[in-house]
Amino acid sequence: MAQVKRAAGVGAEQVELDRPCSAPELVARLARERPALRSLLLDADGRLQPSALLFVGDEQVGADAAALRDGDAVTVLAPMAGG
Protein backbone atom coordinates (compact mmCIF):
# COMPACT_ATOMS: atom_id res chain seq x y z
CA MET A 1 0.00 0.00 0.00
CA ALA A 2 2.94 2.36 0.62
CA GLN A 3 3.82 2.18 -3.07
CA VAL A 4 0.37 3.47 -4.08
CA LYS A 5 0.42 6.17 -1.36
CA ARG A 6 3.79 7.40 -2.57
CA ALA A 7 2.66 7.47 -6.21
CA ALA A 8 -0.61 9.24 -5.34
CA GLY A 9 1.10 11.77 -3.10
CA VAL A 10 -1.58 11.24 -0.43
CA GLY A 11 -2.50 8.47 1.99
CA ALA A 12 -6.24 9.01 1.62
CA GLU A 13 -8.53 11.17 -0.45
CA GLN A 14 -12.25 11.89 -0.61
CA VAL A 15 -13.68 11.96 -4.11
CA GLU A 16 -17.01 13.43 -5.22
CA LEU A 17 -18.43 11.54 -8.18
CA ASP A 18 -20.48 13.27 -10.85
CA ARG A 19 -21.98 9.93 -11.96
CA PRO A 20 -22.16 6.39 -10.60
CA CYS A 21 -19.08 4.25 -11.17
CA SER A 22 -17.45 1.11 -9.84
CA ALA A 23 -14.21 0.89 -7.86
CA PRO A 24 -12.21 -0.24 -10.95
CA GLU A 25 -13.61 2.68 -12.97
CA LEU A 26 -12.78 5.16 -10.19
CA VAL A 27 -9.23 3.87 -9.74
CA ALA A 28 -8.59 3.93 -13.50
CA ARG A 29 -9.90 7.51 -13.68
CA LEU A 30 -7.68 8.65 -10.81
CA ALA A 31 -4.68 6.84 -12.31
CA ARG A 32 -5.17 8.59 -15.66
CA GLU A 33 -5.07 11.94 -13.82
CA ARG A 34 -1.78 11.18 -11.99
CA PRO A 35 1.25 10.08 -14.05
CA ALA A 36 2.92 8.20 -11.17
CA LEU A 37 -0.25 6.18 -10.55
CA ARG A 38 -0.77 5.64 -14.26
CA SER A 39 2.53 3.82 -14.66
CA LEU A 40 1.84 1.75 -11.54
CA LEU A 41 -1.80 0.78 -12.05
CA LEU A 42 -2.63 0.99 -15.78
CA ASP A 43 -1.45 -1.13 -18.69
CA ALA A 44 -0.24 0.28 -22.03
CA ASP A 45 -3.86 0.57 -23.25
CA GLY A 46 -4.95 2.60 -20.20
CA ARG A 47 -6.82 -0.27 -18.56
CA LEU A 48 -6.44 -1.25 -14.92
CA GLN A 49 -3.69 -3.84 -14.42
CA PRO A 50 -5.28 -7.23 -13.74
CA SER A 51 -2.79 -7.73 -10.90
CA ALA A 52 -3.98 -4.61 -9.01
CA LEU A 53 -6.09 -5.58 -6.00
CA LEU A 54 -9.13 -3.44 -5.17
CA PHE A 55 -11.23 -3.55 -2.04
CA VAL A 56 -14.51 -1.82 -1.20
CA GLY A 57 -14.65 -1.86 2.56
CA ASP A 58 -13.21 -5.25 3.53
CA GLU A 59 -14.30 -7.08 0.37
CA GLN A 60 -12.07 -7.60 -2.64
CA VAL A 61 -13.78 -6.61 -5.91
CA GLY A 62 -13.03 -7.34 -9.53
CA ALA A 63 -13.84 -5.86 -12.92
CA ASP A 64 -17.53 -6.73 -12.45
CA ALA A 65 -17.86 -4.68 -9.23
CA ALA A 66 -21.13 -2.90 -8.52
CA ALA A 67 -21.39 0.89 -8.51
CA LEU A 68 -19.97 2.60 -5.45
CA ARG A 69 -22.33 3.98 -2.84
CA ASP A 70 -22.00 7.11 -0.75
CA GLY A 71 -19.44 6.51 2.00
CA ASP A 72 -17.74 3.48 0.40
CA ALA A 73 -14.02 3.24 1.10
CA VAL A 74 -11.85 1.94 -1.75
CA THR A 75 -8.40 0.49 -1.04
CA VAL A 76 -5.84 -0.15 -3.77
CA LEU A 77 -2.91 -2.56 -3.56
CA ALA A 78 -0.47 -2.44 -6.45
CA PRO A 79 1.43 -5.42 -7.82
CA MET A 80 4.82 -5.97 -6.21
CA ALA A 81 7.89 -7.56 -7.66
CA GLY A 82 11.27 -8.46 -6.27
CA GLY A 83 12.64 -10.75 -3.69
Give CA torsion, residues 26, 28, 30, 34, to 10 deg: 180
pLDDT at 18 over 80: yes
pLDDT at 5 over 80: no
How many domains does one find in the chain? 1
83 domain residue, yes or no = no
82 domain residue, yes or no = no
43 domain residue, yes or no = yes
What is the pLDDT, as a whole number, of residue 51? 84
Q: For the segment 19-67, what is each residue's pLDDT rounded down to a tens digit?
A: 999 999 999 888 888 888 888 888 888 888 888 889 999 999 988 899 9
pLDDT at 68 over 80: yes
For position 45, which CATH number holds?
A: 3.10.20
23 domain residue, yes or no = yes
Cα angle 22, 31, 51; round to 5: 75
Residue span of the structural domain in which 64 resides: 2-11+18-77
68 domain residue, yes or no = yes
What is the pLDDT, as a whole number, of residue 35? 86
